[in-house]
Amino acid sequence: MPQQKLQITAVAPDPALLDLPWDVPLAEWPDDVLAALPQGISRHVVRFVSHGGRVLAIKEIGETVAYREYELLRQLHRIEVPSVVPVGVITGRRAPDGERLEAVLLTEHLQFSLPYRALFSQDLRPDTATRLIDALAVLLVRLHLVGFYWGDVSLSNTLFRRDAETFAAYLVDAETGDMHRTLTNGQRNYDVDLARTNIIGELMDLAAGELLDEAVDEVSIGDALVERYQELWDALTGSEAFDSDDRWRVAARIERLNDLGFDVGELEITTDIDGTKVRIQPKVVDAGHHSRRLLRLTGLDVQENQARRMLNDLDSYRAATDRQNDQEQIVAHAWVRQVFRPTIDAVPRELRRKLEPAQLFHEILDHRWFISQQAQRDIPLPEAAESYVEHVLRHRPDEDAVLGLAPGEAEPEDG
């Protein structure tokens, strides 16, 4: 009987991976090996396992495709595009009877993330579909900016995480993707058109299963993806012309892009022959303006809109403590010690796994505003944190929470 000759290709191969039952088809793996996590639709068999203190997603796939997708995900990870982290490829699998088994691609499970069908399996607000589409549009623009052609854009190939009051989208399947120096308009438009078609179909499928609010127009949501993508692409890459006396518009354009969450790495400025007209066009833009600033100031690595909210609270702290003239980084570290960490530490340890720390902080701030409005007084943050834990957080399931429901709107369970 032929023996398995497993080959593990990984940046840091873990010998303990050999303990998993690679001689069994993935669909037949026993429950005691698997981690019970929400799973999206996939054309391949996918299973989750808890291994070495982390959860791995394992996808059975052809060897050539597995290696190709592994390399693409490594490229995306290196340039910090939101995508799952590749772990490795395992080949040489054989069943006990000698039958060849498919290779597998291993990626890290994205903690606190969910496939779109798991989001819609709960009672969500009607605008949830729109917020998911906004997140997917941002992801698609970011991929296109770095020259990545997806080739199969859909909600099914995306994972979503909370990002303050919005969602952040992550690419989870790069099987059909390809990396180029730049993309043609035809390549971009194909991705966008395919995204529209797939999204409409996926939402119609949800509607057929009575998982979609009746007020949602599936076609309008698909059209909104196209509109949102084009608006963002034009804002990030379009050129504008103005009189040479209006040079303030250069700074205004950069500030507008920062507000969208992007930094300008390179800006091309040209003038006409007589110097009366100026044209500007961003040449290099990079997402993560607010998250990079917060990381630089505090060392906290969070999502973009979470960072925006935390920076606003930092500004409020700076004003309240009359430290506008102090060095920003010193004040930021004081804010972490005196505001952020004590607020997170006020949440019982067994409840902290329900949401990321940055999301917990954001929701406590929202809850503070909500109960302050009810009480018609300013509620101190420690009191707000205690109220949030007792009346909201305790009644939420682990990790996924009541996605789509605004903080403060959750009703405590009876008893």
CA angle 212-402-154, nearest 5°?
45
Alpha-carbon distance of 346 to 383, in angstroms, equals 10
pTM of the model: 0.81
Side-by-side strand order, sheet with 166-171: 113-115, 158-163, 166-171
Q: Helices (H), strands (E): how many in the chain? A: 12, 13
Number of C-alpha atoms within 13 angstroms, CB side, residue 137?
23
- Tokens 């509620």: give the residue: 379
The C-alpha torsion from 83 through 87 and 92 to 96, rounded to 10°, is -100
List per-residue pLDDT tens for the chain, 415 residues long.
Answer: 456 688 989 887 788 888 899 999 999 998 888 877 666 566 788 988 887 778 899 999 999 999 999 999 999 999 999 999 999 999 999 998 889 999 999 999 888 888 888 777 665 566 778 888 999 999 999 999 999 999 999 999 999 998 888 899 999 999 999 999 999 999 999 999 999 999 999 999 988 888 887 888 899 999 999 999 999 999 999 888 888 788 788 888 888 888 888 888 788 888 877 767 788 888 778 888 899 899 999 999 999 999 999 999 999 999 899 998 899 999 999 999 999 999 999 999 989 888 889 999 999 999 999 999 999 999 999 999 999 999 999 887 664 433 344 444 443 333 3
DSSP state of 347: S
Q: Could you report how far apart the first and last alpha carbons of the chain are, in Å?
A: 61
Alpha-carbon distance of 280 to 120, in angstroms, equals 43
Q: Where are the alpha helices (DSSP H) in 99-127?
A: 116-119
Q: Is 31 exposed, middle or buried (0-12, 13-18, 19+ CB in 10 A)?
A: exposed
At 250, the amino acid letter reads V
Alpha-carbon distance of 241 to 127, in angstroms, equals 36
At 61, the amino acid letter reads I
Q: Judge contact between 191 and 151, C-beta under 8 A.
A: yes
Alpha-carbon distance of 242 to 231, in angstroms, equals 20
Going by C-alpha positions, the residue among 283, 275, 280, 230 that lies closest to residue 253 is: 280
Q: What is residue 274's predicted lDDT score, i.e. its pLDDT?
A: 72
Q: What is residue 121's predicted lDDT score, i.e. its pLDDT?
A: 64
Q: What is residue 124's predicted lDDT score, i.e. its pLDDT?
A: 58
